[in-house]
């Protein structure tokens, strides 16, 4: 069943609205954002949002009757030499084209202009600044992550519980002395290895991020920085609700469906 009275917009018109708020120019140099597959002239009534364009997501978008798929992480990240059914990435692209579902990715442009502020608000940080400046002006810098003060000092153990509660997580991984008092918190959603250096340089007590390996965590602690690894997905699934509200507010004629929050792994 179609929503919003069967009102349609062309895919490229939706992209114009998205890129007015999250321009591709804000993306980091290594990234690949924008329309990755499909027709820019496709008539769209229903948009499906997800973090990743997995096989499961593509099939769910088709079953939901979606006319367009928007994800945070790009499906096409490295150059492809061919599009065939012999590779798992290109098989997904073939499916999207076969289903006539245009596919759009908004990654580090959203990280810089959306995710950082959203994470700061969720964790209720005060007196914030950009953690890692990547663009903008001297008066209004933009970049990855935020650094700010917690509403009150707490132990690292209390901070872990605080992060779990506000990000609605079942578990986190932590590097550092659990009795250490922390008050200056840096947050860098996603893969945060590169966030350790600016967090240390700017005097953060603790960094909340994802994808921190053994040596990354140990090295951070040696430099006086505790790390709460809340997971890549655990720090970025907040994209779903945020973009759903954005599209519903900017384009009320569209029907917008967000993929259910399903963490990609389990801790037993």
116-164 per-position pLDDT tens digit: 999 999 999 999 999 999 999 999 999 999 999 999 999 999 999 999 9
Whole-number Cα distances in Å, 210 to 5, 44, 170, 229, 235: 41, 34, 14, 5, 7
- Say if residue 42 is in the same domain as residue 158: no
Helical pair 238-250 and 11-21, crossing angle rounded to 10 deg: 110
pLDDT digits (tens, 9 = 90+) for 51-73: 999 999 999 999 999 999 999 99
Per-residue pLDDT, averaged over 212-241, amounts to: 98
pLDDT for 267 equals 85
The per-residue pLDDT for 5 is 52
What's phi and psi for 136, nearest 5 deg? 90, -160
Specify the 3-state DSSP secondary structure of 256.
strand
Q: Which two tokens stand for residue 250?
A: 């900017």
Q: In 3D, which of 244, 242, 246 has the Cα closest to residue 19?
A: 246
* Residue 217 structure tokens: 């965590």
Rounded to an integer, what distance in angstroms lies between the CA atom of residue 6 and that of residue 100? 18
Query: What six digits make up the tokens of 25?
Result: 């120019």
Mean pLDDT of the chain: 96
Cα distance between residue 186 and residue 205, in whole Å: 8
The token pair that represents 163 in the structure block: 């992060």
Positions at the binding site for a divalent metal cation = 72-73, 111, 232, 236
Quote the pLDDT of residue 7: 77
Name every residue whose Cβ is closer than 8 Å to that of residue 222 and which is 6 or more positions away in sequence: none
| Residue 208 and residue 243 share a domain | no
Residue 196 pLDDT > 80: yes
pLDDT at 45 over 90: yes
167: domain CATH number is 3.40.1390.30
Q: Using 50, 70 and 90 to split pLDDT, how confident is the model at 179?
A: very high
Task: Indicate if 114 and 230 belong to the same structural domain.
Answer: yes
pLDDT at 268 over 90: no
Torsion of CA 154, 158, 162, 163, to 10 degrees: 100
What are residue 206's phi and psi, to 5 degrees?
-150, 145
Q: What is the DSSP letter of 185?
A: E
pLDDT at 4: 55
Nearest to 209 by CA among 226, 182, 190: 190
Residue 267 falls inside a structural domain:
no
pLDDT (0 to 100) of residue 250: 98
Measured in whole angstroms, how far is the alpha carbon of residue 110 from the centre of its chain? 7
pLDDT at site 6: 64
Q: Are residues 218 and 252 in the same domain?
A: no
| Same domain, residue pair 58 and 123 | no
Residues annotated in the binding site, as ranges?
72-73, 111, 232, 236
Residues 101 and 132 occupy one common structural domain: no
Note whether 146 and 187 are within 8 A (CB): yes
Residues 59 and 75 in one domain: yes
Q: Tell me how many domains the chain contains.
A: 2
**Domain residue limits at 246:** 9-106+237-258
- Distance, in Å, from the CA atom of 6 to the CA atom of 216, rounded to the nearest integer, reads 51
Q: How many whole angstroms separate alpha carbon 69 and alpha carbon 25?
A: 21
Q: What is the pLDDT of residue 2?
A: 55
Quick one: tokens of 156?
Answer: 């690292």
Reference 45, options 5, 100, 103; nearest CA is 5
Query: pTM here?
Result: 0.95
Same domain, 224 and 156: yes
Domain for residue 198, yes or no?
Answer: yes
The answer to whether residue 42 is domain-embedded is yes
CA nearest to 159, candidates 142, 146, 174, 147: 174
Q: Is residue 80 part of a domain?
A: yes
């Amino acid at each position: 069943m179609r929503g919003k009275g069967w009102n349609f917009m062309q895919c490229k018109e939706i992209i114009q609205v998205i890129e007015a708020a999250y321009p591709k120019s804000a993306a980091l140099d290594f990234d690949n954002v924008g329309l990755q597959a499909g027709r820019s002239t496709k008539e769209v009534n229903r948009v499906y949002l997800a973090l990743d364009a997995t096989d499961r997501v593509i099939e769910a978008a088709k079953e939901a009757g979606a006319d367009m798929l928007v994800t945070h992480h790009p499906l096409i990240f490295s150059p492809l030499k061919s599009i065939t059914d012999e590779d798992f990435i290109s098989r997904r692209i073939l499916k999207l084209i076969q289903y006539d579902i245009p596919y759009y990715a908004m990654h580090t442009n959203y990280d810089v202009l959306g995710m950082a502020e959203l994470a700061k608000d969720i964790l209720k940080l005060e007196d914030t600044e950009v953690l890692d400046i990547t663009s903008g002006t001297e008066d209004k810098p933009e970049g990855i992550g935020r650094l700010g003060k917690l509403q009150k000092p707490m132990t690292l153990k209390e901070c872990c519980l605080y992060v779990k509660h506000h990000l609605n997580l079942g578990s986190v991984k932590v590097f550092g002395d659990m009795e250490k008092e922390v008050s200056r918190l840096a947050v860098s959603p996603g893969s945060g290895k590169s966030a350790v250096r600016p967090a240390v340089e700017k005097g953060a007590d603790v960094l909340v991020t994802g994808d921190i390996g053994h040596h990354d965590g140990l090295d951070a602690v040696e430099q006086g920085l505790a790390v709460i690894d809340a997971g890549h997905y655990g720090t970025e699934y907040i994209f779903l609700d945020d973009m759903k509200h954005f599209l519903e507010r900017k384009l009320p004629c569209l029907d917008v469906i967000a993929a259910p929050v399903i963490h990609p792994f389990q801790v037993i």
